[in-house]
Amino acid sequence: MGLNGRDNHNDNTLAATGNALPEEVPPGKGSEKGLESEKKTVKKYEETFPKEASVGLVVPQDFTFAYPPNELVLESGKKLGPINLRYETYGELNSDKSNAILILHAFSGDAHAAGYHSESDKTPGWWDHMIGPGKAFDTKRYFVICSNVIGGCQGSTGPSSINPDTGKPYGLSFPVVTIGDMVKAQFHLVRHLGISSLYSVAGGSMGGMQALEWSVRYPEMVRSAIILASTARLTAQGIAFDAVGRNAIMSDANWQGGDYYGKSIPARGLSIARMVGHITYLSDLSMGMKFGRRLQTRENYGFDFTNEFEVESYLQHQGDKFVERFDANSYLYITKAMDYFDLGEPYGSLANAFARARAKYLVVSFSTDWLYPPYQSKEMVFSMMKSGRDVSYIQLNSPYGHDSFLLEKSRQTKIIRAFLESIND
Amino acid sequence: MTDKDRPHLNYGIITNLIEENSTVLDLGCGDGELLLRLMREKNVKGRGVDIEERMIMLCISKGISVFQGNLDEGLKDYGSKSYDYVILNQTLQVTHKPILVLNEMLRVGKRAIISFPNFGHYKLILQLLFRGRMPVTKDLPYQWYNTPNIHLCTRNDFIELCRENNIKIIREIDIREGKIISGFLPNLRATEVIFILEKESV
C-alpha cells in the first residue's frame, strides 16, 4: 500500500522551519532518541549534495495508445482502450538508449517524481531527494522515467476518466486492473520512447511490486531491479487493511455505487480509508516519537469526543488532505490490484517466476515496517537465490515503518548508487 | 566483528586455497575484502552473508552480492552442495551455535574453509598461568566482559569436534602472526588455524 511520499514529505517540510529535507526533521517534539545519528548522516549528505541539486522545471507528458480495435487485453479478459499514460522524464537518453531507469510509484503516488512544475511550485516531486543530478538516481548519468499507473487518478486512464463510449466517467464500469496490467501499459510507453532495454526498474511498496512484475514479465528488457519495502504478495493482514479502506468508501452514502462524479464525493469514506492506511505506513515507534499521548490544544481531558489527541487531529488532517487530491474509486481499484498481486502464482511458484528473470536484484526492507515485513523480503530473496539470480539484500534499521523507503535518504542513496554502478552494461 | 578487528593477514593464504572459477559463499563476510580479492584473483562467483547493516552497505558499495542474515538461523534456504566452498573466516568463535553452523556449511558447500584463533597458543596459556588473568593479545584484543568471542577453542578441540561429527579434515594450515608454520606442537605454536573440511552428505 504505500503512500505517495508527498503527504509525508509535505508534513515534514511543514513541520520544520525552512526548506528541510525529511531526515532533518524530528518526527515530533518529544523525540530525542534515534535522531542524532540521522542528523549526522544528513550533514554528510548535505555536504556532498547541495540542496539546489534538482532536475528543475519539468513538464508532464501524455502518451495515448491502445485505440480500438487494438485495446489492451487485461488479465481479467476485459479490454481497455484508448489508454492515456501521464509521465515525466528526467535526464537525457543516451545515444544507444541504454541508460533508462523506470521509477514505479507507490499506491497514491503519481508521475511527478522529481523537480517542480512551476517557478512558484513549493513542493517538488515525491522522490525528489532520490532523483536528480548527483542523487541516487543520478540524472547526469541516467534517463529517468516515471508514469502514473492505470486505474489511478493523476492523469493516467482510470475510473474517473471519461469513457469514450458513453461520454461519462467510467466509475465502476472501469475494468478491474492488476499490477500486471499496469506493467503492460508501461511497456507500451517504454517502447514508445524507443527503449528496448531498461538499465533498471525501481520502486517502493506497490512500486516494488511493479518492478518485480517487470523483471519477470519482460525479462529480456530488465537489467536490474530495485525493490524497496515491498513483497511478492501481500499478507492477509495487508489485504485486511485494504478491505477496511474499501468498506469505508463503499459505505459512504455519497459513493452511490461509484457514480458520484459531478455530485457530492464520498469524502468521509475516503478520508477514513486514508486514516487507516496512514496508520499502517507508520510504526509504533514513529507514532510514539511523533505524537506520544500529547493533547492537541487542551491541557486536560475534555471528556468529550472531539479530536483531542495530537495523533487524532494528525490523522484527520491526513484524511482531509488526501480527499482533495485522490479519487475514491481509484482507491478501490488500486488496492484491489495490490491484493490480487501474487508474483509466483502464474508460474507455479515464486522460484519459477524468478527463474525467468535475468535482472540483478537489490532488495531493501526496513526493521519497523510491519505492513511489508522484512521476513517477506527475506523469503523473496531466498527464492531469487534458489533460481540462481544475483541478489543483494539489506534490512535497514529505521524507526519510520513502511514510510521508511520515502524518508531514509542517505543510506538508500549510498546503496542504490553503488548497486546501479555494479550493473554491467 | 568490525572490519578493523578482522585480521586481513590470512586473505592471501585463503585465496591460494581456492581454485579459479569456483563458487564461494563467505559467511560473516564483513567488509567484503576477501570476496573482492577472490573475485579479482581467482575469478570466483561469490556472495557474502553478514549480520551488520554497516558491513552489508560496504559490500554493496564494492559491487559484491550480499545477504543480511544471522548465521545462527542456519542456511536452510541454501541448496545442498550449492557452492564449491563455504568460508567461515574468524567467525566461528562469535556464533551462538557453532556445530549447527559447521554442519550447515558442510551441507551447502562441497568443501568448507574455516579459520579461527587458536586458544591453545602458548602466550595465552602463559598469561593465564602467570598473571591469572584472561588472556588479551593482538589477535584476541578484548576484555572478558566485552568480547564478542563467546566460543573460543583450541586447535586440538576443533580436531576432536571434527572426529566426533565425522567431518573429514582435508588440510590443516597452522599460522603464526600471518605466516604459515610447520612442524612440532602446532597447538602451542599456532596463533590461528585454517582447516579445509569435507563431509559426505547423509
Listing DSSP states for A186-202 in one string gives: HHHHHHHTT-SSBSEEE
Q: How far apart are CA A140 and CA A8, in angstroms?
A: 27
Contact A176, A258 (CB under 8 A): no
Least confident range from A2-6, B33-37, B40-44, B72-76: namely A2-6
pLDDT at A236: 97
- Which residue's C-alpha cell is 517466476? A353
Instruction: Report yes or no: A407 and A400 within 8 Å, Cβ to Cβ.
Output: yes
Cα distances (angstroms) measured from residue A33 to each of A15, A42, A282, B10: 18, 16, 17, 40
> Residue B130 domain-assigned?
no
Residue in chain B closest to A394 (alpha carbons) equals B68
Could you give the dihedral angle defined by the CA atoms of residues A392, A395, A398 and A402, in that order, rounded to the nearest 10 degrees? Answer: 90
Degrees (nearest 5) of the Cα angle B196, B200, B202?
140
Residue among B169, B172, B170, B175 nearest B192 (CA) = B175
For chain B, what is the radius of gyration of the CA atoms? Answer: 16
Report the relative pairing of strands A200-204 and A100-104 from DSSP bridges: parallel
Nearest to A393 among B64, B68, B79 (CB): B68
How do residues A158-197 score in pLDDT, each as one tens digit?
999 999 999 999 999 999 999 999 999 999 999 999 999 9
Q: How does DSSP assign A148-196, residue by residue? A: PPTT-SSSSS-TTSEETTTTEE-GGGSPP--HHHHHHHHHHHHHHTT-S
Asked whether the beta carbons of residue B66 and residue A392 sit closer than 8 angstroms, the reply is: yes
Name the more confident of A406 and A40: A406
Query: Which residues, in sequence order, are CB contacts of B198 under 8 Å at separation 6+?
Result: B106, B110, B111, B112, B167, B168, B170
* B144 Cβ contact list (under 8 Å, min separation 6): B134
DSSP state for residue A220 in the 8-state scheme? G
In a domain, B147, yes or no: no
Question: Which CATH number characterizes residue B187's domain?
Answer: 3.40.50.150
**CA end-to-end span of chain A, whole Å?**
33
Label residue B200 by pLDDT band (50, 70, 90): confident
Distance separating alpha carbons of residues A143 and A141, to the nearest angstrom: 7
In this prediction, residues A334-345 reach a mean pLDDT of 98
Q: Is the pLDDT of residue B135 over 60?
A: yes
DSSP 8-state class, residue A406? H
Q: How does DSSP classify residue A419? A: H
Res. A424 pLDDT band, cuts 50 70 90: confident
pLDDT at A63: 98
CA-CA distance, A267 to A252, in Å (whole number)?
8
d(CA B89, CA A180): 44
**With 70 as the cut, is the pLDDT of residue B64 above it?**
yes
Closest chain B residue to the Cα of A385, Cα to Cα: B78
Neighbours of A325 (CB within 10 A): 13
B56 Cβ under 8 Å from any chain A Cβ: yes
Better-scored residue on pLDDT, B73 or A143? A143
Q: Looking at CA atoms only, how far is residue B24 from chain A in angstroms?
A: 13
> Which amino acid is residue A198, in one-letter code?
L
Band of pLDDT at residue B72, cut at 50, 70 and 90: confident
The DSSP secondary structure of A296-363, one letter per residue, reads SS-SS--SS-S--BHHHHHHHHHHHHHHHH--HHHHHHHHHHHHH-BTTGGGSSHHHHHHH---EEEE
Q: What's the domain count of chain B?
A: 1
Mutate to test the interface with A, among B29, B65, B70, B108 (most CBs of A within 10 A): B65
**B77 against A139, higher pLDDT:** A139
DSSP letter for A119, please: T
Residue A10: the pLDDT is 37
Strand partners, A366: A396
Question: What is the C-alpha separation between A247 and B94, in angstroms, rounded?
Answer: 51
For residue B177, give the nearest of B142, B125, B139 by alpha carbon: B139
Strands A83-90 and A143-147, sheet pairing: antiparallel
Q: Are strands A168-169 and A162-163 parallel, antiparallel or unpaired?
A: antiparallel
> What are the φ and ψ backbone dihedral angles of A132, each rounded to 5 degrees?
155, 180
Whether B62 and chain A come into contact, CB under 8 Å, resolves to: yes
pTM for the whole structure: 0.89
Q: Stretch B143-172: mean pLDDT, rounded?
A: 96
Quick one: which H or E segment has residue A366?
strand A360-366
Cell of A143: 534517463
Parent domain of B13? 3-119+152-199
3-class state of residue A80 by DSSP:
strand
B127 found inside a domain: no
In a domain, B20, yes or no: yes
**Burial bucket for residue B2 (CB in 10 Å: 0-12, 13-18, 19+):** exposed
DSSP conformation class of B112: E
Report the distance separating Cα A229 and Cα A211, nearest Å.
12
A274 sits in which H/E element: helix A267-281
Cα-based angle A119, A123, A128 (whole degrees, multiple of 5): 105
pLDDT tens for residues A65-96?
A: 999 999 999 999 999 999 999 999 999 999 99
B63 touches chain A (CB under 8 A): yes
Mean of pLDDT values over A334-349: 98
CA–CA gap between residue B26 and residue B46 (Å, rounded): 7
Pairs of CB atoms within 8 A across A/B: 49
Asked whether residue B133 is domain-assigned, the answer is no
Residue A145 confidence (pLDDT) above 60: yes
Q: Is residue A35 pLDDT above 50, yes or no?
A: no
Instruction: Provide the pLDDT for residue A425.
Output: 55
> Distance, in angstroms, between B105 CA and closest chain A CA?
17
* Torsion angle defined by CA atoms of residues A72, A73, A74 and A78, in that order, rounded to the nearest 10 degrees: 110
In terms of pLDDT, which residue wins out, A278 or B75? A278
Q: Looking at beta carbons, which residues of chain B come within 8 Å of A395?
A: 53, 68
In tens, the pLDDT along A205-249 reads 999 999 999 999 999 999 999 999 999 999 999 999 999 999 999
Q: Given an 8 Å threshold on Cβ–Cβ distance, is B66 in contact with A415?
A: no
Q: Worst-scoring range by mean pLDDT, A11-15, A254-258, A377-381? A: A11-15
Secondary structure (3-state) at A374: helix
pLDDT of residue B8: 61
**Cα B196 vs. chain centroid, distance in angstroms?**
10
Residue A250 pLDDT grade (very low, low, confident, very high; cuts 50, 70, 90): very high
Catalytic site positions of A: 205, 369, 402
Mapping DSSP to helix (H, G, I), strand (E, B) and coil, where does residue A204 land?
strand
pLDDT level of residue A396 (50, 70, 90 thresholds) = very high
Q: Distance between CA atoms of A256 and A261, rounded to whole angstroms?
A: 10
pLDDT category of residue B182 using cuts at 50, 70 and 90: very high
Q: Look up residue A111 and give its DSSP letter.
A: S
Question: How far does the CA of residue A414 sit from the closest CA of chain B (Å)?
Answer: 7
Return the H-helix or E-strand segment holding B36: helix B33-42
